[in-house]
Amino acid sequence: MGNARDFFALLKPRVMSLVIFTALVGIAVAPGGIHPVIAFTALLCIAVGAGASGALNMWYDADIDAKMARTANRPIPAGRVTPSEAAGFGAILSVFSVMTMGVLVNWVAAALLAFTIFFYLVIYTMWLKRRTPQNIVIGGAAGAFPPMIGWAAVTGGVSIESAVLFLIIFMWTPPHFWALALFRNEDYRKVGVPMMPVVAGEKETRRQIMLYSLALVPVTLLPGILGFAGALYTGACAALGAGFLALAFRVWRTEAGPAQDKAAKGLFAYSILYLFLVFSLLLAEKMLGLEGIGARALVPGL
Amino acid sequence: MTEENDEGRRHEIETPRWTEEQLKKRRQRNLAIAWTLAGLIALFFVVTIVKLGGNVANRPI
């Protein structure tokens, strides 16, 4: 029988932290004001909704989790929580988070949150994950929604700017997860999850990582081009993006073996820091009031 | 009388026996649920006050 801590572990707290942070940035950069209590409520609902979908994912994937070293100690495969307890827990939290968001914040944000949970559970976990190497490309949308939900919590709608925030995480997900899949290839092969390296081979995966990285960096510059981020963001993002491309290039050019694992681990670790910094920059500019200041104001004579 | 005894025995067999460890975990879970519900009530109360704002006092008596 599980204790409260086991149920908390079902919420995937580490994934939740990145979700909370990107949602917070969505709330902060959205135009117009929001009362801090309402903003806190929206963040709480997003966090609980994300956690709920994590619990439902662990319920559905308990069979393969038990066979992979990385996930074997999760509460269900370890026998501390029964599958039906996890399913009930996830379902109740899903309903509560969506209804609370609707009643206390607004129904657009609630609908987006409900769609995110549906997308992660049904589209990604149940449908795509075990069927196609494109699983994390399309499934990545679920992880990309939080800043959009945060934006909708403030404005009550969806806009091109919030779609750009979505797109940044969406384009970031494939190189991030394929880097992980390169050095965790054996785990996925063992349980038959068709990750890119399992199905298309490591060489093709390295090439795809490079291609997605080339697409990702320009997307991160869009906030500056669209005018809701300033020169500080754009300049720093270009530098961070150059680092991302350099690491992706190293992965692309290495041959399979220990060198490839090392390069993939490097890109994987950097990718987490990268996403965190890109969103931190947006937040910092907003807090310092620099988001409307373009390169001309910062560099005299430009 | 015999039937009653049988009924009683069957009932005894079906009742799960909780170990000290299980009882402790159940207590922890119950407390976690209680705190969560209390938090939810507090949240709804605070948000209601925030949304109504000054209008709480602004009504004919």
pLDDT in tens, B11-25: 556 677 888 888 998
B29 occurs within a structural domain: yes
Q: For the segment A211-245, what is each residue's pLDDT rounded down to a tens digit?
A: 999 999 999 999 999 988 999 999 999 999 999 99
Structural domain including B26 reads: 20-61
What are the residues of chain A with a beta carbon less than 8 Å away from any beta carbon of chain B? Answer: 1-4, 7, 35, 37-38, 41, 44, 96, 100, 104
B1 occurs within a structural domain: no
Q: Which residues of A touch B32 (CB under 8 A)?
A: 4, 7
B5 occurs within a structural domain: no
The domain total for chain B is 1
B8 occurs within a structural domain: no
Q: What is the pTM of this model?
A: 0.88
B13 occurs within a structural domain: no
What integer pLDDT is reported at residue B5 of this predicted model? 58
B59 occurs within a structural domain: yes
Q: Which residues of B touch A102 (CB under 8 A)?
A: none
Interface touch B43/A38, C-beta < 8 Å: no
Out of B25, B28, B50, the one facing A38 most closely (by C-beta) is: B50
B43 occurs within a structural domain: yes
Q: Kindly compute the dihedral angle of the four CA atoms of residues A54, A279, B47, A118, in this order, to the nearest 10 degrees.
A: -30
Q: For the segment A71-97, what is each residue's pLDDT rounded down to a tens digit?
A: 999 999 999 999 999 999 999 999 999
Average pLDDT over residues A180-194: 88
- Which of B20, B23, B28, B48 to mutate against chain A (most A CBs within 10 Å)? B28
**Whole-number percent of chain A with pLDDT over 70:** 96
Angle between helices A36-60 and B20-52 (to 10 degrees): 140
